[in-house]
């Protein structure tokens, strides 16, 4: 029986494809860039860095393809959606002064999602109407058509996303501790929700301390899950969480929302050093936290010392997680660790 495609299901499929595409597209450059800088001008290190950047340029293409996969499209349809998303993302722009095409960054993630959604909608509406000429008509009508719509939407969407990011960054400058706590708590929750922290961080272009606080929120939940999972789950589950599979605990969130109490407690404590030491990040690092050491390496790259890095990213969250465990489970008896943190998969 075919699944009825409601607006909610459509959005969830788009978000799921976007989340996976961002992770695949950004992880290589996010992890390798900071590490390879330590090798200076070594030719191989520089070349690998350049390849990682080029790979990152394909992020909108990956997002479009993986969104199409969510809808069960055939290979040709999948690639058409991917191509349209790439065009509408703005990752490659034409420079009329030099008559060249210039690629940079990852494009606008929200506009990529919108363009891909338009392409998916067009394919669903067209169905099999193109018949034997589908191989020619689909790339032209859907690929270029949806891409063109995305192209014209791009300037307006980027202004909105930039304004959101600027507003958050401004608030973080005016009220660093309060805003760092709010951002960290938001991302501590989002990382075990269906929403992608990486997609949100990229979409609203969090930067500086705002990005550092977001990444710290993700790190706080990661540490809490690892600390509490250690004795109630198999080692493989705990290892998977430590390596970045925090979303595998989503069923626990919906079944036992109290799981958020120690996560938010740790996020609040961990956000304070972010404001005090100006722990910074980038839009690309905001949603990763400790995964691949992306958050710590981004803050190191932004000028944070090794000592402050160890204190901010490891000492404070780990101590806060253990304190929270004792406080909420042993003293206040709000929950039983096995009941709340046992993996339900």
pLDDT digits (tens, 9 = 90+) for 225-273: 999 998 898 888 888 888 777 887 877 888 889 999 999 999 999 999 9
Residues 142 and 46 in one domain: yes
Would you place residue 29 in the very low, low, confident or very high pLDDT band (cuts 50, 70, 90)?
A: confident
> Does 27 reside within a domain?
yes
Residues 38 and 129 in one domain: yes
Domain span holding position 53: 7-161
Residues 13 and 88 in one domain: yes
Residues 108 and 15 in one domain: yes
> Does 2 reside within a domain?
no
Residues 114 and 221 in one domain: no
Residues 155 and 181 in one domain: no
Residues 198 and 310 in one domain: yes
pLDDT, position 137: 95
Among 115, 131, 161, which residue terminates a domain? 161
Give yes or no for a contact between 185 and 217, defined as CB atoms under 8 angstroms apart: yes
Residues in Cβ contact with 119 at an 8 Å cutoff, skipping those fewer than 6 apart: 64, 68, 80, 81, 84, 85, 142, 143, 146, 147
For the residues of 59-83, what is the DSSP string, one character each? HHHHHHHHHHHHTT--HHHHHHHHH
Residues 187 and 282 in one domain: yes
Alpha carbon distance 260, 189 (integer Å): 7
> Does 170 reside within a domain?
no
Residues 51 and 109 in one domain: yes
> Does 300 reside within a domain?
yes
> Does 168 reside within a domain?
no
> Does 48 reside within a domain?
yes
Question: What are 153-171's pLDDT values in tens digits?
Answer: 999 988 887 777 777 777 7
Would you place residue 305 in the very low, low, confident or very high pLDDT band (cuts 50, 70, 90)?
A: very high
Residues 156 and 179 in one domain: no
Among 161, 192, 214, which residue terminates a domain? 161
Question: What are 110-121's pLDDT values in tens digits?
Answer: 899 999 999 999
The total domain count for the chain is 2
Among 126, 161, 196, which residue terminates a domain? 161
Residues 205 and 284 in one domain: yes
Q: Helix or strand or coil: residue 280?
A: coil
In the chain, % of residues over pLDDT 70: 98
Residues 184 and 308 in one domain: yes
State the chain's maximal CA–CA distance in angstroms. 70
């Amino acid at each position: 029986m075919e699944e009825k495609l409601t607006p909610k299901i459509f959005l969830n499929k788009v978000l799921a494809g976007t989340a996976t595409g961002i992770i695949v597209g950004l992880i290589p450059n996010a992890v390798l860039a900071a590490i390879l800088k330590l090798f200076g001008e070594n030719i191989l290190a520089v070349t690998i860095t350049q390849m990682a950047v080029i790979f990152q340029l394909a992020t909108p293409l990956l997002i479009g393809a993986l969104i199409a996969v969510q809808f069960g499209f055939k290979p040709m349809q999948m690639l058409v959606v991917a191509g349209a998303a790439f065009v509408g993302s703005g990752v490659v722009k034409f420079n009329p002064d030099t008559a060249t095409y210039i690629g940079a960054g990852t494009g606008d993630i929200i506009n990529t999602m919108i363009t891909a959604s338009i392409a998916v909608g067009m394919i669903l509406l067209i169905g099999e109407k193109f018949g034997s000429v589908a191989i020619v008509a689909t790339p032209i009508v859907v690929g270029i058509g949806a891409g063109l719509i995305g192209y014209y939407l791009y300037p307006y969407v980027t202004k909105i996303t930039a304004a959101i990011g600027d507003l958050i960054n401004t608030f973080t400058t005016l009220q660093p501790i309060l805003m760092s706590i709010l951002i960290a708590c938001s991302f501590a929750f989002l990382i075990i929700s269906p929403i992608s922290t990486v997609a949100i961080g990229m979409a609203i272009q969090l930067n500086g301390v705002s990005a550092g606080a977001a990444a710290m929120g993700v790190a706080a939940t990661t540490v809490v899950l690892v600390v509490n999972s250690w004795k109630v789950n198999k080692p493989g589950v705990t290892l998977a969480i430590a390596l970045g599979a925090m979303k595998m605990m989503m069923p626990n969130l919906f079944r036992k929302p109290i799981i958020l109490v120690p996560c938010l407690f740790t996020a609040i404590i961990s956000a304070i050093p972010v404001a005090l030491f100006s722990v910074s990040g980038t839009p690309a690092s905001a949603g990763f936290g400790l995964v691949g050491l992306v958050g710590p390496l981004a803050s190191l790259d932004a000028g944070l010392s090794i000592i402050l890095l160890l204190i901010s990213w490891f000492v404070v969250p780990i101590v806060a997680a253990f304190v929270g465990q004792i406080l909420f489970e042993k003293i206040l008896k709000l929950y039983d660790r096995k009941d709340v943190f046992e993996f339900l998969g």
